[in-house]
Structure 1
Amino acid sequence: MTAKKPLALPSLKLILLAAVAGVVAGAAAVYVKETGYGNGGGETAALAGECEAAKGQAAALAPFTTGEVAAMVAAQKPLSLQNVAFKGVDDKALSIKDFAGRTVLLNLWATWCIPCREEMPALNSLQKSLGNERFEVVAVNIDTGDDEKPKSFRTETGIDALGFYRDSTMGVFNALKKEGLAFGLPATLLIDGKGCLLGAMNGPARWDSEDAKGLIKAATGA
């Protein structure tokens, strides 16, 4: 069995795919643009001590990162993401801290990202199947500009179970990029109820598969 790569070392294939996707979409700047850190990431080290216990849980999830979610890599060190920020409905300021008590599957996506578009219905289905007071799929759109494109895409594809979360400043992407967690889109992180990282993956997955549901159930203790 091939060992999984540490989170901080993206494969050359992932980097090339991300670059190609950006060029095709006319948005290559997404992968090099720095809009300023200041998205809570600077405080993650100070909060890491609160996430020591998450290391054990992350390791326990390893048997469930197979099949359709085999690319999910367990967190290698304690890392708090509770201050990673974005916007909700009516431009309301939110952060992972607002989801305290819930396991979160944080997904970053954009309308110009073809793999993102393809996996959104599966994320919607996962939320319909397992979403409750203990678990939520938090899909954050990072298109620049206004809300028209992401809202139109959601309507056209029947995305009706996912909350509408946005960050047109790219701050959330850059914060996770600095932590070595986001190399392109889509990027997906599994976060526990205290805001601690459990695992991360770059690239799409079949989130409506039994493999994905098994991973989420294991993470939530369902």
Structure 2
Amino acid sequence: MLPVIRLAALYTALFFGANPAAADVMAADALRAGDMKKLNLAAPDAVPAVGLLGLDDAPRSLDEFKGKWVLVNFWATWCAPCRVEMPSLGALQHSLGGPGFEVVTVAAGRNGVPQIEKFMAEAGVTHLAALRDPKGALSREMGIVGLPVTVILNPEGAEVGRLIGDADWNSAEARAVLTALMAP
């Protein structure tokens, strides 16, 4: 068993040493504290190209956010932890959002537009990109089995982090991790 651990450590060291993008993951990993201890950071992994819908029923996709860091939050109107978490996502967008970073919400499953709009209004969040995955296709393809789940995508659109459960995304710890990931 010990040789397997040594090989895994060697592979990890070689991967991070040879891949500058992965070095950002190492820097971010070192900053994980508080709710961010639940954040799993990893080498970039492609996200399936599955269509979503906007609140106006127009076809949308996560591909439209390529070129910036994206925090994608999978949630539902019936999810109590999602209700607690949503204001911190709105605050994070307000503090870090811009040309290089965006928070995107994806209502997973059967969430009617009126219920989504009511949920967001009650949470005091009206400025987040709100998409829908009404049949759960993207959620299934990405292995989302519970809610909330938040996924971090790099500018190429690949997943580099995942946090299962709710978190305070506007905390100093969360902003530190995200800032380290986004560092050039």
Q: TM-score range by the shorter chain?
A: 0.7 to 0.9
1:210 paired to 2:172:
yes
Shift of 1:183: 3.1
Amino acid at match of 2:121: T
When Rg is computed on C-alpha atoms for both structures, the one with the higher figure is 2
1:59 paired to 2:30:
no
Q: Report the 3-state secondary structure (helix = DSSP H, G, I; strand = E; otherwise coil) of the residue aligned with 1:206.
A: coil
Aligned pairs (5 A) from 1:9-158:
54-75=21-42, 77-81=43-47, 83-144=49-110, 146-158=112-124
Shift of 1:69: 1.1
Q: 1:114 to 1:86 in 2, by over 3 A?
A: same
Shift of 1:108: 0.2
Alpha-carbon distance between aligned partners in 2 of 1:53 and 1:195, rounded to the nearest angstrom: 17
1:143 and 1:150 in contact (8 A); partners too: no
Amino acid at match of 1:164: A
Q: Report the 3-state secondary structure (helix = DSSP H, G, I; strand = E; otherwise coil) of the residue aligned with 1:161.
A: coil
1:125 and 1:208 in contact (8 A); partners too: yes
1:105 and 1:191 in contact (8 A); partners too: yes
Amino acid at match of 2:99: E
1:191 and 1:199 in contact (8 A); partners too: yes
Mean CA deviation greater in 117-126 or 149-158: 149-158
Calculate the aligned-residue CA RMSD, in Å.
1.9
Q: Percent identity?
A: 33
Aligned pairs (5 A) from 1:188-199:
188-199=150-161
Q: 1:95 to 1:59 in 2, by over 3 A?
A: farther
Shift of 1:208: 1.4
Q: Report the 3-state secondary structure (helix = DSSP H, G, I; strand = E; otherwise coil) of the residue aligned with 2:56.
A: helix
Runs of 4+ in 1 over 3 A off after TM superposition: 52-57
Return the structure number with greater relative CO, CA threshold 8 A, min gap 6: 2
Shift of 1:143: 4.1
Q: Deviations over 1:12-62 (max 9, x none)?
A: xxxxxxxxxxxxxxxxxxxxxxxxxxxxxxxxxxxxxxxx76444333321
Mean CA deviation greater in 53-62 or 166-175: 53-62
Shift of 1:86: 1.7
Q: 1:145 to 1:209 in 2, by over 3 A?
A: closer
Structure 1's unaligned 5+ residue stretches are: 1-51
More strand by percentage: 2
TM-score w.r.t. the length of structure 1 is 0.69
1:104 and 1:192 in contact (8 A); partners too: yes
